[in-house]
């Protein structure tokens, strides 16, 4: 499989490394508006993504979010399988167009929700039968990279996707609050999501924190699990014979980005639907946009 990287910045460089190490994959091109960044990847380098048409079978799109749709649409029209960094697009209409085009052309369209490949999360979700409540906390320091979108599309969207995967049901009700701190857009937010099966998720995200936090807590009738997704640690708490029993697990190591790249290549090579397809990317985007709308409506009332 001949692969290309579109966007050779922070994430694009990592994607290039993972793809280049996979058997059966040849990294043939890198694209970036800053040609020197593309050249640094050691393959044919271009400033215009259209130069890869006819050279590559598949591409990873790791450009700023506001450029996802136009580039992805053009790539799909020219027959390229795509892995698109989250969020898949900036509007639902854009996401719908990409999904429809990929289906029409029989191409793989994978949404880059890399946290699904986190070893600790995979272990956790395999043990949970019927979650009824979950809490997620995702905090990060401010970075200019990603600031073209709000904290919902930058950070919370990871946990929106994880919550849907855990709940195994569609969201039916959302409430939210949030605030501007260092930018003119939403920098910190909290959302409550209720799913059709009664599961409830409470999610918090901040890009103005001094600590890096990736915490997830999941409750079901017979068990409570606390996860540190950053450290790869899980703690299971059960009641057995009238006593509380705790068990710790560690899932260190692993490489979620490499696992995601391998999953993408497998889907392309086997002409199969990807595990995290465009529709799942759209679902997370829909929630993030809904939360953003609710937060902005609230801010207008109080500002």
Identify the CATH class of 115-254+287-302: alpha beta
Alpha carbon distances (Å) from 47 to 15, 24, 81, 279:
18, 26, 20, 30
Whether the domain at 2-112+257-276 and the domain at 115-254+287-302 fall into the same CATH topology: no
pLDDT in tens, 141-179: 887 665 678 999 999 999 999 999 999 999 999 999 999
Provide the pLDDT for residue 253. 80
Residue 245's pLDDT is 95
Residue with the two structure tokens 């053009």: 74
Question: What average pLDDT does the structure give for the chain?
Answer: 95
Structural domain boundaries in the chain: 2-112+257-276, 115-254+287-302
pLDDT at 104: 98
Neighbours of 79 (CB within 10 A): 14
Give per-residue pLDDT as tens, 246-267. 999 999 888 999 999 999 999 9
CATH superfamily for 2-112+257-276 is NAD(P)-binding Rossmann-like Domain (3.40.50.720)
**Alpha carbons 217 and 134: distance in angstroms, whole number:** 5
36-90 pLDDT tens trace: 999 999 999 999 999 999 999 999 999 999 999 999 999 999 999 999 999 999 9
Q: What is the pLDDT of residues 211-250, one digit of tens each?
A: 899 999 999 998 999 999 999 999 999 988 889 999 999 9
**CA torsion angle 120 125 131 134 (round to 10):** 30
Percent of the chain scored above 90 by pLDDT? 92
Amino acid 146: pLDDT: 54
Banded model confidence at residue 4, pLDDT cuts 50, 70, 90 = very high
Q: Is 223 left (phi over 0), alpha (psi -120 to 50) or beta?
A: beta
Q: Which residues contact 176 (CB under 8 A, 6 or more apart)?
A: 189, 190, 191, 192, 291, 294, 295, 298
Strand partners, 137: 204, 215
Radius of gyration of the chain (CA): 20
């Amino acid at each position: 499989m001949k692969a290309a990287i579109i966007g050779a910045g922070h994430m694009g460089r990592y994607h290039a490394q993972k793809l280049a190490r996979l058997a059966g994959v040849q990294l043939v091109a890198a694209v970036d508006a800053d040609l020197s960044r593309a050249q640094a990847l050691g393959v044919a380098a271009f400033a215009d993504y259209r130069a890869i048409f006819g050279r590559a079978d598949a591409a990873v799109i790791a450009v700023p979010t506001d450029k996802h749709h136009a580039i992805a649409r053009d790539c799909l029209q020219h027959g390229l399988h795509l892995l698109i960094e989250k969020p898949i697009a900036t509007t639902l209409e854009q996401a719908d167009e990409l999904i429809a085009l990929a289906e029409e052309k029989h191409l793989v369209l994978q949404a880059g929700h890399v946290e699904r490949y986190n070893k600790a999360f995979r272990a956790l979700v395999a043990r949970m039968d019927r979650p009824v409540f979950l809490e997620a906390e995702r905090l990060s320091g401010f970075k200019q990279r990603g600031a073209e979108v709000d904290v919902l599309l930058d950070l919370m969207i990871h946990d929106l996707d994880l919550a849907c995967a855990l709940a195994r049901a569609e969201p039916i009700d959302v409430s939210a609050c949030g605030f501007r701190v260092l930018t003119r857009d939403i920098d910190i937010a909290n959302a409550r999501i209720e799913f059709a099966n009664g599961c409830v998720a409470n999610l918090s995200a901040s890009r103005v924190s001094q600590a890096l936090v990736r915490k997830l807590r999941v409750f079901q009738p017979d068990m409570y699990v606390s996860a540190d997704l950053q450290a790869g640690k899980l703690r299971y708490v059960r009641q057995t014979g009238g006593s509380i029993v705790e068990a710790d697990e560690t899932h260190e190591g692993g490489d979620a980005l490499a696992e995601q790249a391998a999953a993408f290549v497998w889907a392309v090579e086997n002409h199969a639907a990807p595990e995290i397809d465009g529709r799942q990317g759209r679902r997370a985007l829909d929630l993030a946009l809904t939360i953003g709308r609710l937060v902005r409506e609230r801010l207008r009332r109080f500002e």
